[in-house]
Amino acid sequence: MTTGRLKNKNIVITGASSGIGLSIASLCAERGANLVLLARRLDILEQIKQDLEEHFSVNVQVYKLDVSNSEEVKAVFSKLLKEHSTIDVLVNNAGFGVFRAAHEVAMEDVKGMFDVNVVGLIACTTSVLPLMRQQRKGHIINIASQAGKIATPKSSVYSATKHAVLGYTNSLRMELSDFNVSVTAVNPGPIETDFHSIADESGTYVKSVERFILKPDFVARKVVDRMLTNTREINLPRWMNVGSILFALFPSLFERVGKKALNKK
């Protein structure tokens, strides 16, 4: 448990207004952490701030931030870094997906997914790296996906963004190993959040995986329990990660056998 480990630590969370981000924020507040919550909907963040401060007597700051806007990322992080001499944890949670066949994906959605899932994540991370290297401690947690390990039909662009996140995360981990800064990739399967209202407009995918779908609180607890530990990856559910190992070892066989099941989007 991390009850004592997180007390009075400063934790920054992107995409904190709903889903996993909100669940992570609530658990961190429960364990005594001070929070900086970032999302596009400031009105929702203000309500979350009020609720968490009332229930847990912690300090919560909120900022409106669209991570796809690099200039806005610079401005917001410049402001919050002036107010916090130490950042202990950055959780890069903001992200979205669109599930469509490759020839049907609009270029606007392609750019949008890369701008949020990849460029935005890198921009936020770059903003805290000088401080974490200087203070020689910290933890960067990147919410990736099992889709970054197993490419599936109708998620070509989304999978590409998550492959990019994992490549960046793995490189960053090696760069920061001498600075006592941990870097963790979180690779969940499908989660019961608003993500699917955009990604899966037809509801076909959600229906096909409903018996496997993860609850946001479950994923959040696994993440928060590993904060400020030297954890390389968190793979959820564990059995699904077996698929990614088989995919890496026997890609042709996996694609041939799993095509029908993986195509249910």
pLDDT of residue 242: 84
pTM: 0.90
DSSP string of 210-250, one letter each residue: TTTPBPHHHHHHHHHHTTTS---EEEESHHHHHHHHHHHHS
pLDDT of residue 262: 61
Domains of the chain, earliest start first: 10-262 (3.40.50.720)
Burial class (CB in 10 A: 0-12, 13-18, 19+), 218: middle
d(CA 202, CA 250): 31
d(CA 55, CA 77): 27
Ramachandran class of 53: left when φ > 0, alpha when ψ lies in -120 to 50, beta otherwise:
alpha
Q: Are 228 and 182 in contact (CB under 8 A)?
A: yes
pLDDT of residue 69: 98
If you count them, how many residues does the chain have? 265
| Residues with a known catalytic role | 158
pLDDT < 70 stretches in the chain: 1-3, 193-212, 258-265
